[in-house]
A = this chain, B = another copy of it.
Amino acid sequence: MIPQISTIDLYKLASGDVLSLQVYKFIGDIPGKKAYIQANLHGAEIVGNGVIQQLIEYLMTLDQSQLQGEIWLVPVCNPLGVNQRSHMFSTGRFDSYNGKNWNRIFWDYEQEVLDLTEFAKSQINDSPEAIRSNYLARIKQAWAKEHERINRPSSASLSHQYRYQLQSLCLDADYVIDIHSSSNQAIDYTFGFKERIASIKYLLLDYGILMDEYDGDAFDEAFLKPWLALEKELTNLGKEIKFDIESWTLELGAGMAMNPNSVATGFAGIKNYLAHKQMLSLPEEVTSSEVTLVSKHKINSYHAPTGGMVQSRLPLKTKVHPGDQIYQLLSFNKQGTAPELISVCAETQGIVFDVSTNQCVNQGEYVMDILDC
Produce 1/0 per residue, A132-175, CB < 8 A to B: 00000000000000000000111111111110000000000000
Q: How large is the interface on A (under 10, 10 to 19, 20 to 34, 35 or more residues)?
A: 35 or more
Smallest Cβ-Cβ distance to A81: which chain B residue: B15
Determine if A363 and B15 form an interchain contact, defined as CB atoms under 8 angstroms apart. Answer: no
Smallest Cβ-Cβ distance to A303: which chain B residue: B155
Determine if B83 and A94 form an interchain contact, defined as CB atoms under 8 angstroms apart. Answer: no
Given A14-B360, A256-B358, A358-B90, the answer on whether A97 and B344 have CB atoms closer than 8 Å is no
C-alpha spacing A366/B76, complex, angstroms: 20
Determine if B12 and A306 form an interchain contact, defined as CB atoms under 8 angstroms apart. Answer: yes
Set of chain B residues within 8 Å of A364, measured between Cβ atoms: 11, 97, 155-162
Determine if A303 and B83 form an interchain contact, defined as CB atoms under 8 angstroms apart. Answer: no
Within 8 A of B (CB), among A320-373: 330-339, 341, 344-347, 356-366
Neighbour of A258 across the interface among B13, B86, B302, B311, CB < 8 A: B311
Within 8 A of B (CB), among A282-312: 300-312
Given A91-B87, A94-B99, A332-B16, the answer on whether A366 and B53 have CB atoms closer than 8 Å is no
In the complex, whether A19 has a CB less than 8 A from a CB of chain B is yes
Produce 1/0 per residue, A254-275, CB < 8 A to B: 0011101000000000000000
Set of chain B residues within 8 Å of A332, measured between Cβ atoms: 15-16, 22, 49, 75-76
Neighbour of A87 across the interface among B93, B100, B301, B312, CB < 8 A: B93
Determine if A19 and B15 form an interchain contact, defined as CB atoms under 8 angstroms apart. Answer: yes
Smallest Cβ-Cβ distance to A369: which chain B residue: B154
Smallest Cβ-Cβ distance to A337: which chain B residue: B5
C-alpha spacing A111/B44, complex, angstroms: 34
The distance from the CB of A259 to the nearest CB of chain B, in whole angstroms, is 9
Neighbour of A76 across the interface among B15, B46, B359, CB < 8 A: B15
Determine if A22 and B334 form an interchain contact, defined as CB atoms under 8 angstroms apart. Answer: yes
In the complex, whether A38 has a CB less than 8 A from a CB of chain B is no
C-alpha spacing A87/B43, complex, angstroms: 12
The distance from the CB of A326 to the nearest CB of chain B, in whole angstroms, is 8
The distance from the CB of A255 to the nearest CB of chain B, in whole angstroms, is 9
Set of chain B residues within 8 Å of A344, measured between Cβ atoms: 153
The distance from the CB of A55 to the nearest CB of chain B, in whole angstroms, is 11
C-alpha spacing A256/B359, complex, angstroms: 5
Set of chain B residues within 8 Å of A339, measured between Cβ atoms: 16, 53, 56, 75
Determine if A158 and B99 form an interchain contact, defined as CB atoms under 8 angstroms apart. Answer: no
In the complex, whether A85 has a CB less than 8 A from a CB of chain B is yes
Task: Identify 9 residue pairs between A and B in the complex whose beta-carbon atoms are under 8 Å apart, listed by A's number.
Answer: A13-B363, A14-B361, A46-B360, A56-B339, A76-B332, A83-B362, A88-B183, A97-B366, A257-B359
Could you list which residues of chain A lie within 8 angstroms of chain B, going by C-beta atoms?
Answer: 3, 5-7, 11-22, 24, 43-44, 46, 49-50, 53, 56, 60, 75-76, 78-79, 82-83, 85-91, 93-97, 99-101, 152-162, 183-184, 256-258, 260, 300-312, 330-339, 341, 344-347, 356-366
